[in-house]
């Protein structure tokens, strides 16, 4: 049995992965069923005639392209965005892969449990796949805060708790309060960001500067990260629109997001150059702040925000995000002891809150004059007659408060659980280092071996 | 205030970005409205019944997947294709990002203005998003000619003019002459290429060889560039078919492009090995010439070109493109003083002209025998009774001449505007160098710092 | 004329490419026609009314998004997955590009020839494009076995034979035996894997360890390979569902694959850490074994396998794949003289066989109780009244045997043809080396030139 302080994953990681997957398989076997659109019997019972038009109306054709775009954002977008660190590319894209693959299964169960069991069963189809990927996104946002300072076992444990609380929060917002949040400014971004920030606060490492030399990028790692950035940027319109109602809401959401992001990008370049004494652009800003426009229209995107409104929101989001990276992140670290590796507070935290506020205001300003018969297709409670724009705006604002509360509370609990010294977390001297958890190849022939640092495990072994 | 010759972007870039975005926001607020498919009120007024089939007919479901493929080509395709330079990856993908984000907003206004205002308003939806991305593509082609030799401020100024003239040329071709050019052999590729070539001619730098050592690739930069190439190649069928009519034209265009590209790829490999004394393949050819087949069926792709015809066109395009890189580009530089960094003349210029000619010939050969009732779905003026294949072929040929004229004229004007010494263009000694405009990280630990060249700004600062 | 042992491609590669493409063009001109959905006349003859709904039913809108995902897997997925070798990135992505571009054209002809000529003509549309890409995938799997040890001429010759035999085998399975294999566990993966393994056995190089130092990865090459892995992983649901029937089968297949892959990923991480003495993860496993879950539901994915069943299959597939890399691959090499560069036996061979067995069992267990009216939409012979689950299970099993036989026989013949010393194969000392067939740039300024090895051609030239 390995030393409890060792970072050796040989027993811990396989045991946890296998136990989790076995539990998942048992629960799926017990609880999960095909929904009407994926079940051979049920889909074909519902056929009114024998022509193929019926098959063309399967939700697959109207949701699956969006699903695939979201899927790319989760696995390529988040995964490569975090490869900016010079020696943490394997872990960034690899652990992202692992915890996403786990989270989407666990989220299917948790969301299915809260969002309506059908005779005790969870019904799955492309919409549940999108929702599971959304919940996964939230976990990956939190991952960004603790990047480089956690073992894969810790990350899986974090995912277990975060997915669960995500589903609770989502249930409160969407089912109890009945608010709008199709693109997840609140449920995904605000929740994931503040949850992760609290976790990293609890896991504060006073001696992290021992790994400071690895906590930065190199030329090619920044280019790999740009792959992540650009994919997130391009597919964000699909993300925000993936589960809106069909027709005009989905179309409008994609377009609003497109304009918000375009305006955000110009703001990002402008302020990145402005805050640098030599007027040089900073890759950290471009990689991250240019995406804030997508976050900030996550709630209001499906509303009649207009291209004009979207561009204003996007411009603001990019601006606060760059300023956050430049001026707020150092303060959070030095004063509040929040070590936020990827700066998720700037990309998901503040823009998420902005998105919630914009959503509340836009909802409060909604009127039948502007939306016509489309009003009930955006705001679910119109049909029930209970609809009132001001109260809707109020519920949107309450939802933000609930989300912040859930995130802070959940992050606190989870942070203390993750602090137990049993997960093989990296020592302060070996953070941001792939070599702890991965077989890392040498450099090209003729180069000196770059990755020959002795890991704590090896030191331990040598000295035993 | 910085020295007028300084490359310091601290004031110039933020000012320009913010002014442009504010103008865009004001114009969008004044002029832009949701179209029928994105407007909550209008879309739902048009509903004939309450079933969901109606929503499934929203143009979103038939255009948006194509839009996303085009979007990937613009941001990943063009962006990464240009990362082949050893020290210009940040600028390639970053400036591509900036000028594309600006151009798509400006193009929405310019194209909307020329292509039909609705009661003084520009109506936007997924089709306008595709068209804006197309126009952006043209700007990015021109970017390829001046790559490494221009500041981001210059590039934005170029985009302002090029987008405007693109919209004028597109209006003349599509609305006045009424010709076909769904994939933009003329409007996008020929226009973008010759515009950019004239600009780079006007900006001729006799002492560019001072930066010669940076005007080449390294091993990994060539692999990054292949990401761009492959995405462009794969999604070109979506590009050419994105705004054709629904049904057979869209389907046929995608397939013709697929075959043209496949044949082009074999020609590219064949001639790349043939023109090398040792029979070795050249990455420049593979990265670029293999795409010429997509350019060359940009006009005729929607016509009954057949797989057979598409493959011949693709094979020719790949051949002339490789030969152009090998034999023509050096002559253009030495004799005509056209310094074409990416060889856009070989990828977009000659294949674009070939595509225009193929389009004219294919249109002239069109007949009701071959097209049946589908004739009017490809050639818009059939219904009006004015249709005549020979005259249509003639108009197609005239369109090529108009496009060349517009590109040469526009490039000349724009080139002289860009020559003003106020934009912070790089000095001859520091072209193809990210360090001028970006904070560039060092190499991995243990390596020598590669990017420690002193930039002109720093020299200036030190000596002041 | 070059020495027959020379690796100089100057004559051989261009000649072969041009001859092949000319033959393809002639055959396409003679045999290939637009199908009903791509032909201007035929599509519009079939219109029952003038509304646009008809155009929305063109198969383009229901197949093309799947096609594009498959296309990405073929060109980015396979291409970049193989870039893991330190000095073989150009060849991996470049030769993948070349042989895929050739194979998809040749496959269109071969598959069209076997799967039903229409009055002597091959009809093409988006479905034939998907099928051609599928066949190409099989060739690329075989490429993985011989990666680094073959010239591009050899690879093209291999593709000629493999595509032909693939089409024969597919014809026997789908048209004669009438079995299910929508995602190609048998036709694509098992066939491609064992074909390639036999080829590499015949081409056995006893002195391959002279190139051993190049037969491994470096840090960034592993990250490039992860681009391939992640794209394959994300889009595998589209791959398996691309040509199933519309409606519930397509939707269900995508979802089953999604769950299989998620479970497979957890198994891969678990066993990768478990088999390493220090508990470190191995990039080879993550890059490859995590994909085995997609292979293993290639046959049963469209059946009522359930998420539960899919996850069990995926978990098993990941497990055997990692164990194969760790324990079986070294034995295959040392005892059976099978030098399998990418370990395709672990990713495609064993999981493909597993997939065939799972398919046979799932088919044998199918019943009208579970499938209802959907039964005939999954199993084609239900309508004819001949359907019997047990015999169907038997036919599925026979199909696996046929596939293995065809692969072994075809690989043997092809291997001996490829052994002729006329193709410019690399010498044992220069395997896994781009410099033989590509102009390779130097490293960044200030670095020593890494790629200055003299190739055999150059040695020959110097000594002549």
Q: What is the pLDDT of residues C165-224, one digit of tens each?
A: 999 999 999 999 999 999 999 999 999 999 999 999 999 999 999 999 999 999 999 999
CA-closest candidate to residue B298, choices B121, B65, B141: B141
Query: Nearest CB to B62: which of C33, C61, C442?
Result: C61
Tokens standing for B333? Answer: 């530089």
pLDDT 10s digits, C409-446: 999 999 999 999 999 999 999 999 999 999 999 754 43
Q: Give yes or no for B286 touching C (CB within 8 A).
A: yes
Q: Report the 10 Å Cβ neighbour count for A204.
A: 15
Put simply, whether A323 touches B (Cβ < 8 Å) is no
Instruction: Tell me whether B377 touches chain C (CB under 8 Å).
Output: yes
A vs C: CB pairs below 8 A: 231
Q: Which of A230-244, B50-64, B350-364, C263-277 has the lowest mean pLDDT?
A: B50-64
User: Residue C282: CB partners within 8 Å, gap ≥ 6?
Assistant: A438, A439, C272, C276, C325
C17 with B269: Cβ contact below 8 A: yes
Residue A89 has which token pair? 């590319």
pLDDT tens digits for range B42-67 = 998 866 655 555 899 999 999 999 99
Two tokens at A217?
């990028």
Residues in chain B: 464
Q: Which of A56, A234, A250 sits opposite B75 (nearest CB)?
A: A234
Confidence band (pLDDT; 50, 70, 90) for B232? Answer: very high
Answer yes or no: are the C-beta atoms of C131 and C326 closer than 8 Å: no
Query: Per the domain annotation, does A389 fall within a domain?
Result: yes
What does the block give as tokens for C44?
């519009």
CA distance B55 to chain A (A): 4
> Phi/psi of residue A438, each to 5°?
-130, 145
Kindly list the residues from chain C whose CB atom is less than 8 angstroms away from the CB atom of residue B378: 40
Q: Which chain A residues in 231-270 lie under 8 Å from chain B, judged by CB atoms?
A: 231, 233-235, 238, 245-252, 254-255, 258-259, 261-263, 265-267, 269-270
**Which residue in chain A is spatially nearest to C276 when comparing CA positions?**
A10
Q: State how beta strands A32-34 and C122-124 pair.
A: unpaired
Q: What is the pLDDT of residue C45?
A: 86
CA-wise closest residue to A257 among A164, A351, A176: A351
Are β-strands A32-34 and A122-124 bridged in parallel, bridged antiparallel, or unpaired?
parallel
Cβ separation A105–C234 shorter than 8 A:
no
Task: Name the 3-class secondary structure at A169.
Answer: helix
Residues 197 to 236 of B: which have CB under 8 A from any A CB?
A: 220, 224, 227
| pLDDT tens, position by position, B407-430 | 999 999 999 999 999 999 999 999
pTM for the full predicted model: 0.95
Answer yes or no: is B461 within a domain: no
Q: Which residue would you say has higher pLDDT here, B330 or B373?
A: B330
B373 close contact with C: CB closer than 8 A? yes
Both tokens of residue A207? 């001696």
Instruction: Tell me the shortest Cα–Cα distance from C206 to chain B, in angstroms.
Output: 27
Query: What are the phi and psi torsion angles at B445 (to 5°)?
Result: -40, 140
- pLDDT category, A382, cuts 50, 70, 90? confident
Q: Taking the CB of residue C227, how many other CB atoms lie within 10 A of it? A: 23
B283/C439 CB distance under 8 A: yes
pLDDT digits (tens, 9 = 90+) for C350-362: 999 999 999 999 9
Is there a domain that residue C457 lies in? no
Q: Does C61 touch chain A (CB under 8 A)?
A: yes
C304 touches chain A (CB under 8 A): yes
Per-residue DSSP letter, B34: E
Q: What is the CATH number of the domain that holds A29?
A: 1.10.3430.10
- Give how many domains chain A has, as a whole number: 1
Task: Please give the pLDDT value at position B78.
Answer: 98
Cα–Cα distance for residue pair B279/B3, rounded to 1 Å:
50
Residues C245, C297 contacting (CB under 8 angstroms): no
Smallest CA–CA distance from C284 into chain A, residue? A439
> Could C21 and B266 be called an inter-chain contact, meaning their C-beta atoms sit closer than 8 Å?
yes
Q: Do A307 and B40 touch (CB under 8 A)?
A: no
Residue C167 inside a domain? The answer is yes
Q: Tell me how far apart the alpha carbons of residues C155 and C143 are, in angstroms, rounded to a whole number.
A: 7
H-helix or E-strand spanning residue B320:
helix B306-323
Considering the domain boundaries, does residue C34 fall inside one?
Answer: yes
Q: Which residue(s) pair with C217 in the sheet?
A: C85
For the segment C227-240, what is each residue's pLDDT rounded down to a tens digit? Answer: 999 999 999 999 99
d(CA A98, CA A90): 12
Span B310-337, average pLDDT: 98
Domain of residue A298, residue span: 11-448
For C120, phi then psi, to 5°, come to: 80, 5
Check: CB of residue B257 under 8 Å from CB of residue B351: no
- The residues, ordered by sequence, that sit 6+ positions from B275 with a Cβ below 8 Å of its Cβ are B322, B323, B326, B327
What is the pLDDT at residue A388? Answer: 87
Q: C13 CA to chain B: closest CA distance, Å?
A: 6
Distance CA C238, CA A265 (A): 32
Helix (H) / strand (E) containing A33: strand A32-34
3-state secondary structure of A179: coil
Residue C450 reports pLDDT greater than 60: no
Identify the residue with better confidence: B96 or A390: B96
Structure token pair of residue C349: 């061979």
Task: Confirm whether C460 is domain-assigned.
Answer: no
Q: What three-state secondary structure class fits A383? A: coil
At C42, list the tokens.
Answer: 């035929």
- Which chains lie within 8 Å of chain A at 3 or more CB pairs, if any? B, C
Question: Is C280 in contact with A9 (Cβ distance < 8 A)?
Answer: yes
Instruction: Give the number of other Cβ atoms within 10 Å of residue A176's Cβ.
Output: 11
Q: Which residues on neighbouring strands pair with residue B85, listed in sequence order?
A: B217
Place of tokens 């056209």: B338
Q: Is residue A453 over pLDDT 60?
A: no
The interface predicted TM-score (ipTM) is 0.94
pLDDT of residue C382: 78
**Which residue(s) pair with B118 in the sheet?**
B121
User: Which residues of chain B make contact with A216, given a CB cutoff of 8 A?
Assistant: 441
Residue A150 domain-assigned (yes or no) = yes
Mutate to test the interface with C, among A60, A121, A223, A458 (most CBs of C within 10 A): A60
Which partners does chain B have (≥3 C-beta pairs < 8 Å)? A, C
**Residue B333 near residue B346 (C-beta atoms within 8 A):** no
Say if C453 falls within a structural domain. no
Nearest residue of chain A to residue B74 (CA atoms): A234
pLDDT of residue A454: 46
Alpha carbon distance, N-terminus to C-terminus of chain A: 13
CB proximity A445 to C under 8 Å: yes
CA dist list (Å): B132 to B71, B143, B164, C195 = 10, 17, 12, 47
**Amino acid A1: pLDDT:** 42
Mutate to test the interface with C, among A1, A21, A46 (most CBs of C within 10 A): A21
Interface touch A439/C86, C-beta < 8 Å:
no
């Amino acid at each position: 049995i390995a030393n409890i302080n060792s970072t050796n994953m040989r027993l811990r990681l396989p045991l946890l992965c296998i136990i989790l997957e076995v539990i998942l398989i048992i629960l799926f076997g017990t609880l999960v069923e095909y929904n009407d659109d994926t079940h051979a019997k049920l889909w074909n019972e519902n056929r009114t005639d024998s022509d193929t038009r019926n098959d063309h109306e399967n939700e697959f054709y109207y949701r699956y392209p969006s699903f695939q775009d979201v899927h790319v954002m989760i696995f390529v977008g988040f995964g490569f965005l975090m490869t900016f660190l010079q020696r943490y590319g394997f872990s960034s894209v690899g652990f992202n892969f692992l915890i996403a693959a786990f989270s989407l299964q666990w989220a299917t169960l948790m969301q299915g449990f809260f969002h309506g069991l059908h005779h005790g069963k969870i019904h799955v189809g492309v919409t549940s796949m999108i929702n599971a990927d959304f919940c996964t996104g939230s976990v990956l946002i939190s991952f960004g805060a603790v990047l480089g300072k956690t073992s894969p076992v810790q990350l899986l444990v974090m995912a277990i708790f975060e997915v669960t609380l995500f589903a609770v929060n989502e249930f409160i917002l969407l089912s109890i309060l009945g608010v709008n949040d199709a693109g997840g400014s609140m449920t995904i971004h605000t929740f994931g960001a503040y949850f992760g920030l609290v976790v990293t606060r609890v896991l504060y490492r006073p001696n992290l500067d021992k790994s400071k030399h690895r906590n930065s990028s190199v030329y090619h790692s920044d280019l790999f990260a740009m792959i992540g950035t650009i994919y997130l940027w391009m597919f964000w319109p699909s993300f925000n629109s993936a589960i809106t109602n069909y027709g005009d809401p989905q179309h409008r959401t994609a377009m609003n997001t497109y304009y918000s992001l375009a305006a955000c990008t110009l703001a990002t370049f402008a302020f990145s150059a402005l805050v640098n004494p030599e007027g040089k652009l900073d890759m950290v800003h471009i990689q991250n702040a240019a995406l804030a426009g997508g976050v900030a229209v996550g709630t209001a995107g499906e509303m009649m925000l207009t291209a004009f409104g979207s561009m204003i929101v996007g411009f603001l989001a990019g601006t606060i995000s760059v300023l956050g990276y430049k001026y707020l992140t150092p303060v959070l670290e030095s004063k509040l002891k929040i070590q936020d590796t990827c700066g998720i507070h700037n990309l998901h935290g503040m823009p998420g809150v902005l998105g919630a506020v914009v959503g509340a205001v836009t909802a409060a300003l909604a009127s039948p004059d502007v939306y016509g018969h489309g009003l009930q297709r955006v705001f679910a409670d119109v049909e029930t007659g209970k609809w009132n724009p001001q109260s809707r705006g109020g519920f949107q604002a309450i939802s933000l408060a609930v989300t912040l509360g859930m995130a802070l509370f959940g992050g606190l609990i989870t942070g203390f659980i993750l602090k137990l010294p049993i997960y093989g977390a990296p020592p302060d001297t070996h953070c941001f280092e792939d070599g702890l958890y991965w077989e890392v190849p040498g450099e090209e022939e003729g180069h000196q071996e770059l990755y020959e640092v002795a890991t704590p495990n090896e030191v331990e072994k040598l000295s035993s």
